[in-house]
Chains A and B, each alone.
Chain A
Amino acid sequence: MTHSDRGAGRPLSPHLQIYKPTLTMMMSMAHRLTGLALYCGTLLLAWWLLALAGGAESFAAAQAFFSGFFGRLILFGYTWALIHHMLGGLRHLVWDTGHGFGPAQIEWAARATLAGSVVLTLVVWVLGFSLL
């Protein structure tokens, strides 16, 4: 049934390129993409923990990377992905209860997630620089 030759020549159901992009569609993709980014980002956490457990020398090497421009850029992206994915996940948990599916509510939640992720990321980094 799923062999591709059986579907040859048949009309396809509408896919991504058919629909006009909407904010909620972008947020759905962003949720998945931030999830993938966090999957890879966990390797950085593993490296940092191993470096700390390994001793002063390996820890200094890891710290040198994370305090450099490139390292901070990655960490900034990781912070945003973490917070965006968390807020998006909270939105999903609300949907799981059967609430929040009205057109206006969905649009509001998408905007709140996006704005909240940017604001909270900046709050964490301002807090970080003030503690540095």
Chain B
Amino acid sequence: MSLRTPLGAVRGHGSANSGTGHFWRQRLSAIANVPLTLGLVWLVLANLGGDYESVRASLSSPLAVIVLAAFIVSAVYHMRLGLQVVIEDYVHGEALKFACLIANTLFSAILALTCLYAILKLGI
């Protein structure tokens, strides 16, 4: 016999109240990160030793802008989820834990916006 309410069972959120959403998003962004990271490495290698004009011209192509922007969105999202788990594992005081979780999210958002600003500026 289960003590769970039928509604709770249907929602399937479990004791953490967030279900498998975190797990699934981390996996989804991980899969996206694989080709995007290879794209980033390729872009960096292709521009090694280049002067300002040539690097700028290379990274302003539509493909480079889209690969860089997609990498930033996926990687920053992934790293925010990852650090969230680390904080939940090691920071035990409720107040400090929530402060860290909020700081993690805000830092990630600002970092992503900063990078996207620079990337879009290159592309326009």
Contacts and interface: CB of A to CB of B under 8 A. Distances in A.
Interface residues of B, number: 31
A38 B37 CA distance: 12
Contacts, number: 74
Contact of A82 (B27, B37, B45, B121): B37
Given A82-B37, A128-B45, A131-B45, A93 B115 contact: no
Contacts of A39: 79, 82-83
Contacts of B79: 35, 38-39, 42
B56 to A, nearest CB: 6
B48 A132 contact: yes
Interface stretch (A17-25, A47-55, A99-107): A47-55
Given A35-B82, A53-B118, A124-B41, A86 B34 contact: yes
B83 A45 contact: no
B49 A131 contact: yes
B80 to A, nearest CB: 9
Label chain A's interface by main secondary structure: helix
Given A46-B111, A82-B37, A124-B45, A52 B55 contact: yes
Interface of A: 32, 35-36, 38-39, 42-43, 45-46, 49-50, 52-53, 55-56, 59-60, 79, 82, 86, 89-90, 92-93, 96, 124, 127-128, 131-132
12 contacts: A35-B83, A42-B76, A42-B115, A43-B111, A46-B111, A49-B115, A49-B119, A53-B117, A53-B122, A56-B53, A93-B30, A131-B45
